[in-house]
Structure 1
Amino acid sequence: VTGREHIPPQGPALIAANHLSYLDPPAVGSSLPRRTYYFAKQELFQIPLFGSLIRSCYAFPVNREGDDKEAFRSAIELLKAGELLTVFPEGARSADGSLQAGGRGAALIAARAGVPIIPCAVSGTDQVLPLHAKFLHRGFIQVSFAPPLQTRTRDNAGRATKLDLQAITDQVMAEIARLLQEQKAYPRFLREPDTPCD
């Protein structure tokens, strides 16, 4: 885990991460020094046992097929209450592991709540739990956080325009891409210094 110092010890922030696997939420959550809430598609809550499990991990359902205003309001309320919220701007797991285009939803939530966005890169979760796999595999997971990005806008209405939201989204996705490149540059076996033990 790198960049944990960018997580505020208290107060709200929205964490925006890339999405590779169902393991991404626990991977991000376990890397944080404090609790985070996150969206999960509502179908997952209908799976016996699994639905109860993700609810106990502070997930709340969202309908990805339409405009889920209730989930949107819940997200803003959590942030205004000083909580952390983790979202995946790509909207779904990447089928080939590459970073997909991000939607503007994360930027809209953060702008409406008046909180910063912390870009987050996750790698390796798709090796530990690949798409459609039923069992875990051996692997190495990396989680990196970038410095917070501000989302406040200065238009006359006090609201973010679509251009504002797209600019914020582009900046977030660029930071995630940068973090992913840094992770590739420092493979697991090169992270530890090659020094003899005492």
Structure 2
Amino acid sequence: MYAYGLSVYRVCKVLATFLLKVLFGFRVEGAEKIPKEGPVILASNHMSFLDPVVMGVACPRVVSYMSRDDLFRYPILRWLLPRLYVIPVARGAGDLAAIKAAIRTLQNGMVFGIFPEGRRSRTGYIEPFKTGTAAIALRTGAPIVPAAIIGSDKAWPVGKGPRLRRPIRVVFGDPIAVSPGKTDHQSLEALTQQLEAAVTALLPPEYHRKPTI
């Protein structure tokens, strides 16, 4: 199944790469910062329906993601998504099984992609990160590679159709080393704040959250 799934993944990646470059002038910076082997967590901002595809194309390795489980109800997606290493998760249900599946993915030495905001931003700015990414990292010891997706919100805005020729760019930052440790509130918050700062630093100022008054 893994070898068969890998061939499907590669075909889809070649097609997606071609389309992103032709339609959106897709570019990647810093992909060499992603460890070439071993477990890795890719953590990025999230502003568009396109983002999982964009990150999968940008990363030179296979990336596994979580996605809402209702997508698996459609026959074609039910066949395709597992072959793209997508993990179903029940939205808003605190799906422990999905978290365990993500941890197993990392324990198997794969790359796991996640959007720490928990949903697509509707404001045009990066939103506060949730602690789930930090919890997975602290339980596995997997390094976190911060990433910024720039322009996908303009290329395919939330609630609207695609707008061609709007450039999309992905920038990867330096990995954040993580040692397995306690997942107490203080540890989770500290790592989450470090990660949010790292992703924010990769984004242009126009994406930075406006300070509250």
Q: Identify which range, 132-141 or 88-97, moves more after superposition.
A: 132-141
CA contact (8 A) 1:127 1:137 kept: no
Shift of 1:136: 4.8
Where 2:67 maps in the other structure, the secondary structure is strand
Give the stretch that moved more between structures: 136-145 or 161-170: 136-145
Match of 2:182 in 1: 159
Q: Distance in 2 between matches of 1:75 and 1:124?
A: 28
Of 63, 66, 69, the residue aligned with 1:42 is 69
Structure with greater helix percent = 2
Q: How has the CA–CA distance of structure 1 residues 113 and 173 changed in structure 2, closer, same or farther, with 3 Å as cutoff?
A: same
Q: CA deviation at 1:95?
A: 0.5
Match of 1:19 among 37, 41, 46: 46
Contact 1:14 1:115 in 2 (8 A): yes
Describe the superposition over 1:13-50 as per-residue Cα deviations: whole angstroms up to 9, x where unpaired. Answer: 10111101111011111011110101112233335645
Select 1:117's aligned residue among 123, 129, 144.
144
1:30 aligns with 2:60: no
Worse-superposed segment, 68-77 or 137-146: 137-146
TM-score (norm 1): 0.83
Size of the aligned set, in residue pairs, is 180
Map 1:160-175 to 2 at 5 A.
Answer: 160-175=183-198
Moved more, 49-58 or 94-103: 49-58
- Per mean C-alpha deviation after superposition, the further-off stretch among 39-48 and 18-27 is 39-48
Deviates more, 1:94-103 or 1:135-144: 135-144
Residue type matched to 1:42 in 2?
A: D
Cα-to-partner distance string for 1:38-64 (whole Å, 9 max, x where unaligned): 111223333564555444322111122
Which shifted more, 66-75 or 158-167?
Answer: 158-167
Secondary structure, in 3 states, of the residue corresponding to 1:152? coil
Matched, 1:106 2:129: no
Preserved contact between residue 125 and residue 206 of structure 2 (Cα < 8 Å):
no
Take 2:166 and 2:51, find their aligned partners in 1: how far apart are those partners? 14
Identical-pair percentage: 36
Match for residue 76 of structure 1?
A: 103
Bigger Cα displacement from structure 2, 173-182 vs 99-108: 173-182
CA RMSD of superposed structures (Å)? 2.0
> Structure 2: where are the runs of 5+ without partners?
1-27, 208-213
Given the alignment, which residue of 199, 207, 210 partners 1:176?
Answer: 199
- Rounded Cα–Cα distance in structure 2 between residues aligned with 1:103 and 1:59: 21
1:183 is displaced (CA, Å) by 9.4
Contact 1:17 1:89 in 2 (8 A): yes
Q: Conserved in 2, the CA contact under 8 Å of 1:107 and 1:151?
A: no
Q: Cα offset for 1:97?
A: 1.7
Q: 1:47 to 1:20 in 2, by over 3 A?
A: farther
CA deviations on 1:114-147 (whole Å, 9 max, x unpaired) are 1111111001111221111244533100101111
Contact 1:107–1:165 (CA<8 Å) still a contact in 2? yes
